[in-house]
Structure 1
């Protein structure tokens, strides 16, 4: 989608800033290998590590919302029959979840500058994870 393209392009532009903070970035797609690799190349995202083939079941396990494709996007890309809506996850080195944000729609996604600033605060103040009470 055009919003995905913009978000991933912005992420690519900020990879050095994430690396300076010790964050390893990877984009994960529910697209199949061919579609993911074609999109990765067409959108000129070579510097951004990409994983693909995230199953809808696994996407649900991460709390992501699943949508039914509604045809062609405004930039001429045919949506898959079903796909996961986006999410951002910050995983600690011990593999525990520190932060997540998930979307039900493609709109109003977090800005990378805000995410970077939040990580800086977390590192500076050793800020504890929130929302961890079950």
Structure 2
């Protein structure tokens, strides 16, 4: 059974400003959130790592609908504590066309963004955010284990609903 390490953290809620997050991108550059998607709806997926079959499934699902997200001007971002090699493998393995960042400091992200940690604090549990164009949180979904995460179709429908 997988255990989760509890860190004193505040969970983000609807309307909260999304805390600054900076991480290197596979292929070069640096992802700066919430600056990068300013003016656009965005989906931020914190995934456990390339080794996680549930994360790989989630990322593949979002890639299958990536064109639909883009057509709705919704930007996708995926981030993990993986090393660059593992993150690059994730991008290649799944043909991901959206930005993938790596090298997150799990304890720091747990404290600033509320993500749950693995028992050994080596990685973050699956966490998903939908951000409004002004950088505030429209939805935060926290999982304390391998399952329980945003899925692509529901997330796309959620943003469409909020825009009405």
Q: TM-score range by the shorter chain?
A: 0.7 to 0.9
Q: Give unmatched runs, 5+ long, in structure 2.
A: 1-51
Equivalent residue, structure 2, for 1:102: 142
Listed as ranges, the matches of 1:1-134 within 5 Å are 1-41=52-92, 43-60=93-110, 61-68=112-119, 82-124=122-164
Who is 1:128 aligned against?
Answer: none
Deviation at 1:15, TM superposition (A): 0.8
Decide which structure has greater strand share.
Answer: 2
After superposition, the Cα gap between the structure-2 partners of 1:23 and 1:64, relative to the gap in structure 1 and judged at 3 Å, is same
In 1, the alpha carbon distance for the partners of 2:145 and 2:77 equals 21
Name segments (4+ residues, structure 1) moved above 4 Å.
none
TM-score (norm 2): 0.62
1:117 shift after superposition: 1.1
Highest RCO, 1 vs 2 (Cα 8 Å, sep ≥ 6): 2
Q: TM-score with structure 1 length normalisation?
A: 0.75
Runs of 5+ consecutive residues of structure 1 not aligned to the other structure: 70-80, 125-134
Structure with a larger share of its residues in helix? 1
Give how far 1:110 is off.
3.2
Count, aligned residues: 112
Say if 2:117 and 2:125, in contact at 8 Å, map to a contact too: yes
RMSD between aligned residues: 1.7
Shift of the alpha carbon at 1:28? 0.8
